[in-house]
A and B are shown apart, each in its own frame.
Chain A
Amino acid sequence: MLPGVETWLYLCLGRIDEAWVRLIGPLFYLAAIGLLVGAACRLDGSRTAGLAMAAAMFFVPCLFVGTRGLLTGSADFPLGVLWLATVSWILAPPDGPHAERLVAVLGALLLWMKRDGLFPWLALLLIAFVWLWKAKRLRRWTLIAAPGVVLGVGFAIFLAIAKAPGDPHHLPATPANLIAQSDRIIPVAAAIADELGEVRDLEPSVARTLLALGVLTLRDRPRGLILFTALLISPGWLRARVRAQPREGPQRTSRLALPQLLLQLAPTALLTVALAIPRLPQFSLAKPAPEPESPTPAPCP
């Protein structure tokens, strides 16, 4: 998606101007603020919690520091914003075709944003399967999957026709490669574990997310499980599997993996924390309010 937006900018300007391309990242950041606050309101969270987490997003490690940050033109944070929007609509109860269409479109855009979008998209399909199976509307699962399949297969065919060069850093995720490179999984996993221990920047984010996941799961088990899948199981496992096939050795690849993964998952992790924080009326010290039997919809700005 980002190369397309840059293409559009250059086409309109008639020349290369990197100053304009530099604006794309901050615009995604502003979009993330809106999505975070809006989703916290819509999902019966607290507006104050949404605003607080939007403000906390500024302090996510690697967002401004490093080579893959928000202002470098990398697609990792925009992918995270798209994943936030997608997950926020999966968390809403399936109340009609509109939410499913929106999830389908956003899921397809995950694939369009970046090749790594394949992993959250597969996680989306898994969650949507459970989501629609419980709502007894399993047929609509194909509608959610269809845009992504059409876009992904279409673009793969296009790349083959255009004879585009392959990924210089990773082997294709084919069964033959997986088997041939299986002996490298352990060294790669060890390298990633070592890096996780070294990178202190990641610790606050990981601890915060795990804590919020635990609190949310205690309060609202379905949402907690969905977010657990969205944040940890599917993207992390699938990514680790493919990352275990570097062309250039495990160390280089693992070095690149963790900050990228953090940026891709950080907005959704912040939404998790926003949903885990109780609504503001419960904090009122001056006038302790009685516990409401059913929470009222959150007021939105």
Chain B
Amino acid sequence: MSARSRAEWLIAFWSFFAAAFLAGSLQPFGSLLRQRRIDDQGPQNSSDAHLLSELGLSDGSRQIAECLRDVPLDARVALIYHEGSLDDLPAQIISRLAWPRPVIQGTSPRTRRSDEQKDPGVPDRPESPAADSRNSASCRALSVSASSTRTEHARRFHRTPARHRHDHFCRLRALRWLGDGAGISWLERVGLSWLLGTGLVSLALWLLGMVVRGPVLIGIVAAGAVAVLVTSRNARFVPTRREPLSLIDWVLVGVLLGQVIFLAWWTPHTVLGSDACSSGRRKRASLSKMAAHYPLHILAMPRAYGASHNIR
């Protein structure tokens, strides 16, 4: 077979392959518009969306904040759930919203009774949270009821301008120690910089968070990131040979740009999942134990609190 006919066969084969792949892959996009979406651009919009869908609680974060407005910051808050388990996403979100107050979590007597019927090995507990001397007067019981709050409409939050110091420190070029960059295109360099930069920042936060906290921690991590950036500037990157883009390349670049535009449009409407909204991960909880200013530190989680400080 000549080179020309082989090229024709290859083109036909890969074209058919690409068309079949696209046809098969487009199917899931039909459900894209049926996904859960956020109602506003407030700072807790994903949490609000989860609270609304799971509990029927409109504008949940604001309502919970109003409930806790008069509760002193050093007072303990008891969260009592009538339904579900303490591992559920709404339970974890409400725990986070109560920060920085210490949180004690438990289930209602009704739920407890049903649990105990399932597990006869669990010892008897008093009915009222107030009966426990450990949960004294400083402990407020907050019972979130879906039915009492469904009628309230959601208020539109407007995002305030944010300081995004983060951007400066994530575009790191931490490649000097890793090599002189020979043969690495700038596209790959950017990708590696993002991966290594996020790794550097998160590791530094974990390690330094054991000894320093608050603004000092932020300053040291930021200074370290800037130091890496400055030293990487001196790295000897060997320029790669450039060749003008062909017509097909330009078409593909246009497709990629269209995808990026779609992402920029679609991203603000999506709802974050349980990993980002809750504390389901012990890594997050442990990290935040060290970084005291991290609002999620109370997410040492319902499981932890439920096991050791359950309401009796």
Contact = CB atoms under 8 A, between A and B. Distances in A.
Nearest to A49: B14
A158 interface: yes
B273 A72 contact: yes
A99 B178 CA distance: 7
B3 A282 contact: yes
Interface residues of A, number: 105
B28 interface: yes
Given A3-B281, A98-B179, A162-B286, A278 B10 contact: yes
A51 B46 contact: no
B69 interface: no
A242 to B, nearest CB: 17
Contacts of B72: none
Contacts of A65: 28-29, 31-32, 35
Contacts of B234: none
A172 to B, nearest CB: 13
Interface string B88-103: 0000000010000000
Nearest to B201: A8
B263 A29 contact: yes
Interface residues of B, number: 111
A17 B296 CA distance: 12
Interface in A27-69: 27-35, 37-39, 41-42, 47-48, 51-52, 54-56, 58-62, 64-65, 67-69
A162 B282 CA distance: 10
Interface string B28-55: 1101100100000101111100000000
A74 B286 contact: no
A98 B178 contact: yes
Contacts of B300: 164-165
Interface stretch (B104-112, B116-124, B140-148, B188-196): B188-196
A7 B286 CA distance: 11
A11 interface: yes
B275 interface: yes
Task: With a 10 A CB-CB cut-off, give which of A69, A165, A283 has the most chain B CB atoms.
Answer: A165
B137 interface: no
B94 to A, nearest CB: 13
B3 A291 contact: yes
Interface string B150-180: 0000000001001111100010000001111
A238 interface: no
A8 B166 contact: yes
Interface string A241-279: 000000000000000000000000000000000000110
B84 interface: no
B25 to A, nearest CB: 4
Contacts of A126: none
Interface string B195-231: 1101101110110000000000110010000000000
B4 A285 contact: yes
Nearest to B255: A55
B252 A203 contact: no
Interface in B45-79: 45-47
A59 B26 contact: yes
Interface stretch (A101-109, A137-145, A173-181, A182-190): A101-109
Contacts of B21: 56, 59, 204, 208
A11 B276 contact: no
A165 B307 contact: yes
B190 A31 contact: yes
A9 B201 CA distance: 10
A75 B275 contact: yes
A51 B3 contact: no
Given A5-B170, A7-B202, A20-B162, 17 more contacts: A13-B163, A21-B276, A25-B267, A27-B170, A31-B194, A33-B256, A47-B249, A51-B252, A56-B18, A68-B273, A105-B178, A159-B286, A200-B24, A201-B27, A282-B6, A285-B7, A301-B242
Closest 10 CB pairs of A and B: A4-B202, A38-B188, A73-B276, A98-B179, A72-B273, A204-B24, A34-B191, A300-B185, A59-B25, A299-B243
